[in-house]
Chains A and B, each alone.
Chain A
């Protein structure tokens, strides 16, 4: 971990010397970037490199052990140099070696930058640039056993292809799909109309714009806005299209619009049109404006214009995007985190929050690699469970039948069938429901009704619920210990220990509800910035075999404390502790639907979770094939994945909740939103 400060200082001055050359290269390659933005990136991340050990202790670069560490990043052809460096620099700052695979547009400038890096003193091999066809290279390089993390920035199609190609390699892949996202530009009636129109003209008709803007105007000021737009557009010079091929798309879209009466296009499905077109929509009330803004599969950014403080903050909270710019647009700074919500990505870049994708908790060993097995994705998880044939053994000890927990109520599975639960000796201990797609569907429906309210509740209220859960668990301590003992064969003392630790975890997360908070990044431009952690939504969790009670309680507490709803799938080997826990859930004051527990075949339920578009994230402990399946299918629609392969993983010690492990869980349970408000 050499003195990266020295390197970056030298680099900054050499960038300033070669700035002209760099910007000319960028222009030639059709991806303009300003050297000052790059300099700012460098300065920001050199600061983090310096402070890494003191501000982020207990985290090490991904995969660091005796072999080399590599973080690979792939960028699509039309991505900008800034986006590429936004990933390269934090990876380097956190001590990783990087292999960058730039797209056609950024290859020449990146090669120049890499050369400048080496001249500035970066050791050979730390930063590598491989040029070529992005997609084929992407999967080839990922096959190398030294690569421990892949991150992609660019458009959705190629991102999906990359995910599918790298499925099963045991490498976490994160996507930032900022290109081609539709971003709402909302003008409320309380806005400074002239400034808002200036903003639209500035950003919507640029040649190289990263997102497609959609203009939403409140009805009461519709005439004002349109009149001013006409005046400005009459004076504008024509805007060049990025490629001739786009011209046909633009013409087609204009024709379609004229056929529909040249009034606002009300359906904006499909790929946004590349070209200087600006769709215009009107809305009546504030709520409708926000709904209009949210009505798109993308969740990259939004610009809203109003002088009303309360409205600005409320709308910023309700827009499901990663960045909200109030009375401004396209403010990019490395200290302001940029994350994609919904289909726009599953990772966060920039700020302190964006550093953690390149780190792992020091107490965990690096994730093991594997090679993709041949998995038939269409048949994965479709095998029916073995039928239960009743044995004609003594009727005095008929195994108990348990119910699963969906939508706050105990119920049988939709299919009506059950699976056996075996004791360590092999005897049938109990029967539990054989859950499937329909159960997952019901659970999600119940969850989605209740989760927004749960998320909006004050953190203190959530903390109270979790504390009540801990109290109830305390009361049922004996029963839980006995269940654990009979299910897993642990001694009664150890089982009791596990229950005690579970109670401790619940209290820990209850306390964290209102202590974990976002930040106030300091951005060079004058204004106020906020970085807010928000709940993801509905999270699917497939629980590990080890420590069945403790792992379940830890994960449940982490997700629920941050405002999510969870659907838990207990391990098929040891489901009883979870099923006993249902009693605890019922007697607590946790709203029904926030937690659902569905038992059954792991693969079947994994497949059901993966296929439900409402589920935002999946935390999986299971087989290699399961991990591969999830990586393959969860690219579209996009989900955040946190995968562990039980066979090869160094087993996580749930009993030792290290601070960094708790932090890792917290960061998996939230998504981030930045709000920027320029002021004097």
Chain B
């Protein structure tokens, strides 16, 4: 595991020089969608890799300890044992990357995972998720409480007001404080790209978030009108590459929201491979924020193993 991104002092000049050509980015996104033509066992292999990168998420108003427990169980055994056995993968430790819940459910998740003897990390959303429109004091307090409850990863939301009005120093300051509150816990910065306006702004916000010490940058909360799309991902991933080329630090990428089919997950993996390289194809640098995606992947794997299309009720529920 490579070293964490320590961040760097804010370089406003770098930020101001950013230029993004929308049409060219859209064109590249189109291109990438046609790239992955894997079939059969290679496709199954890519799908299993996608499973290991999923942050299995439940962020609903009606979450209770019961459904969180079920989620944790699914996370430890994401694909049915017999399917894994027929692919000879049953003892390779195929689990999802993490479980993602609201702060008040963190304690329940930690308890369930401990009972199942699993080392899966619990990720918590924090800082006024999803809108971030609360005072800085309460947002910082949320982070600290989630860490106390046992969260190993925190997904923070940036202040879009600051990003939209170009107040990069203020945004940098806030994210630095969140990072400090996280301490040893890994921090993912949610940019909420649906609310950032232009691609140029997305790139700038990505850079600032990375300079402030994010371990991951994440596209969206899943609650906006526009969530993770390929063009916006290309922009963010280019920012990651730019940061890596300049500083040598690797920052991870997490698209979240609207990823529902196995085919899409393959396109996401291809995008990471094409733009950043093989190292970004593993859970320590790439996560998929999804809930119903796992079911579709499981059905695809079922099809690969048995040759038949499964009905949804044949797979264990998440």
Contacts and interface: CB of A to CB of B under 8 A. Distances in A.
Most buried by B among A193, A195, A202, A680: A195
Interface string B222-242: 000000000000000010011
B19 interface: yes
B245 A680 contact: no
A231 B242 CA distance: 11
B24 interface: yes
Contact of A191 (B19, B27, B31, B277): B19
A195 B24 contact: yes
B117 interface: no
Nearest to A195: B24
B23 A678 contact: yes
A227 B23 contact: no
Interface string B264-280: 00000000001001000
Contacts of B22: 680
A276 B277 CA distance: 23
Interface in A641-680: 678-680
A227 B274 contact: no
A192 B241 contact: no
A328 interface: yes
B296 to A, nearest CB: 29
A527 B23 contact: yes
Interface in A2-51: none
B24 A192 contact: yes
Contacts of B25: 192, 195
Contacts of B21: 191-192, 195, 305, 307, 327
Contacts of A385: none
Nearest to B277: A235
B23 A198 contact: no
Q: How large is the interface on A (under 10, 10 to 19, 20 to 34, 35 or more residues)?
A: 20 to 34
A288 interface: no
Contacts, number: 46
A637 interface: no
Contacts of A235: 274, 277
Nearest to B22: A680
A192 B19 contact: yes
Interface in B1-42: 19-25, 27-28, 31
A68 interface: no
Contacts of A193: 19
A72 to B, nearest CB: 38
A370 interface: no
Interface string A299-334: 000000101000000000000000000011000000
Contacts of A680: 22-23
A190 interface: yes
Contacts of A305: 21
Contacts of B242: 194
Contact of B28 (A190, A198, A231, A527): A198
A201 to B, nearest CB: 11
A199 B24 contact: yes
A195 B22 CA distance: 9
A639 B242 CA distance: 48
Nearest to A678: B23
A529 to B, nearest CB: 14
Given A195-B28, A235-B274, A327 B19 contact: no
A328 B23 contact: yes
Interface in A180-238: 190-196, 198-199, 202, 227-228, 231, 235
Nearest to B276: A231
Contacts of B24: 192, 195-196, 198-199, 327-328, 678
Query: Which of A194, A327, A527, A680 is packed against the most chain B CB atoms within 10 Å?
Result: A194
Instruction: Select the residue from A198, A231, A307, A327 with max chain B CB neighbours within 10 A.
Output: A198
A528 to B, nearest CB: 11
A680 B25 CA distance: 11
Contacts of A199: 24
8 contacts: A194-B242, A195-B24, A196-B24, A198-B28, A227-B245, A526-B23, A527-B23, A678-B24
Interface of B: 19-25, 27-28, 31, 238, 241-242, 245, 274, 277
Interface of A: 190-196, 198-199, 202, 227-228, 231, 235, 305, 307, 327-328, 526-527, 678-680
Given A190-B19, A192-B24, A231-B277, 5 more contacts: A192-B20, A192-B25, A194-B241, A235-B274, A680-B23
